[in-house]
Amino acid sequence: MAEIVDFKIIGDDRGSLISLENLNNIPFEVKRVYYIFDTKEGVRRGFHSHKNLKQLLVCVKGSCVILLDDGINRENVTLCEPNRGLFIGANIWHEMYNFSNDCVLLVLADDFYDETDYIRDYNKFLKTII
Ligand code: T46
């Protein structure tokens, strides 16, 4: 279920750089970027699926775990490398947890924020995937 995207690190003796490009190493056109940081101890976020939104999550600093649930199978993916992204398409229930104190979770999305695209009730989510 987990679709991992590996990014090329462009490194030299000054350090490392990663470039993200629409429809090149990002599998969609990016309309929105947001990032989650300064998460509190033991917090769990997410608890929703999206009706249409496609997203790519990259933990650019620290680490966190993403639970993916397609209504049949569940999978937990640890994100801890800035050169590794996790694609989450529509209709995947997801939760984020085990954030390290220094975690910065960068998210690229193919559309603007729209609360009507969220399904925040797990039983409603299960009904949508039948
Ligand atoms: C997702 C996971 C990975 C906005 O106003 N604009 C935005 O672009 C976003 C993403 C959120 N918000 C508001 C909506 C809420 O009042 O920020 C507040 C926190 O959002 P939420 O509780 O949905 O945050 P998470 O961390 O549970 O989920 C977020 C994204 O919302 C969601 O699309 O897939 O990260």
Give residue 1's pLDDT: 83
Q: Which of 58, 56, 127 is closest to 91 using CA atoms?
A: 127
Q: Which of 27, 28, 47, 48 is catalytic?
A: 48
Q: Which residue, judged by its Cα, is nearest atom 20 of ligand 1?
A: 46
Degrees to nearest 5, angle at CA 52 with 31 and 98: 80
Task: Quote the CA–CA distance of 108 and 55 in Å, as a whole number.
Answer: 6
**pLDDT tens track for 12-44:** 999 999 999 999 999 999 999 999 999 999 999
Q: Could you give the C-alpha distances from 55 to 28, 40, 41, 107, 119, in angstroms and in order?
A: 9, 23, 25, 7, 15
94: annotated active-site residue: no
Give residue 89's pLDDT: 97
Q: Which residue bears the tokens 């490398």?
A: 81
Q: Chunked in runs of 10, what are the mean pLDDT values of the chain (130 residues)?
A: 95 97 96 98 97 98 98 97 98 98 98 98 93
Question: Residues 36, 95: contact at Cβ < 8 Å?
Answer: no
14 alpha carbon – ligand 1 mean position (Å):
35
Give residue 123's pLDDT: 97
Give residue 67's pLDDT: 98
**Sequence-distant (≥ 6) Cβ neighbours of residue 13 within 8 angstroms:** none
106 alpha carbon – ligand 1 mean position (Å):
12
Q: Is the CB of 37 under 6 A from ligand 1?
A: no
